[in-house]
A and B are shown apart, each in its own frame.
Chain A
């Protein structure tokens, strides 16, 4: 899923400036699962804004609304009837959702309330960890199902480097050395001979380095 962090309340207030009619827009997908931008978090941020503005003696209007997704126009269309009543749409979706809402409501100010951070997994309730960087050419078959692009601090294709110590990365003892994980898993799955294969230089053009990406499936088009 896409994981994010709620922006600091002070930063949100600064971005809102003098605008007091706010549509706080949540998303029922990834940001709900990682506890940053779903219906509940829309409720918390809206409550924070109400408490703050009440304390300041200000007049305001806040509407809480959560869409099934903010990355599909069919759902974004659902706020058409009332979006115009607000000065600003405060989107709690990932960066994709914020942009798609902004594209749909060209005359509206759309602000992000979330910092989108990574593609990851749930380690346990309340803990998420990065697993994928969307490089566009997956090599997990070569690396025993552990991605060195996302999980090695240097994205080394042939590791580990000299900074690997007792299974941890030199940049932070909390971070597992991805190449240690790869070697451990190669051993566990009886594929250690694969470690001898030198991974070739990666063609980064399939990733962000090749510019913004787009995927088209003609057979799925209506």
Chain B
């Protein structure tokens, strides 16, 4: 399994830990895009962590639209721990999407 080397993985115990501020700080640090890779919906070990993460990602999309970075720079994907290929596929999809959007205007 291989995925684009530009993807930097930040490990969290559960996507339920993903917070609006955490994503915003990542953009402030210069990230061109952020995606949250959570477990399949309905299969969260902590019951609703990935569902909460999705709502927070949706909220951040609105914030990024407001500040002019565009909501497309953040996304939520779901996959199970055994779906390495799916992880790699989303990594390629997101990398391609961000490449089309170009570097974050915050970094210029």
Count residues of chain B with CB under 8 A from any CB of chain A.
15
B28 within 8 A of partner (CB) = yes
Docked-complex contact A51 and B108, CB < 8 angstroms: no
What is the interface of chain A mostly: helix, strand, loop, or mixed? Answer: helix
Contact code string A200-217 (vs B, CB < 8 Å = 1, else 0): 000000000000000000
For B63, give its contact among A10, A40, A44, A54 (CB under 8 Å). A44
Docked-complex contact A47 and B25, CB < 8 angstroms: yes
Given A40-B21, A43-B21, CB of A48 within 8 Å of CB of B67: yes
B101 within 8 A of partner (CB) = no
Question: Chain B interface (Cβ within 8 Å of chain A)?
Answer: 20-21, 24-25, 27-28, 63-64, 66-69, 105-106, 108
Could you name 28 residue pairs across A and B whose Cβ atoms are closer than 8 Å?
A8-B66, A9-B63, A9-B67, A10-B66, A40-B21, A43-B21, A44-B20, A44-B21, A44-B24, A44-B63, A47-B21, A47-B25, A47-B27, A47-B28, A48-B66, A48-B67, A50-B28, A51-B28, A51-B64, A51-B67, A51-B69, A51-B106, A52-B67, A52-B68, A54-B28, A54-B106, A55-B68, A55-B105
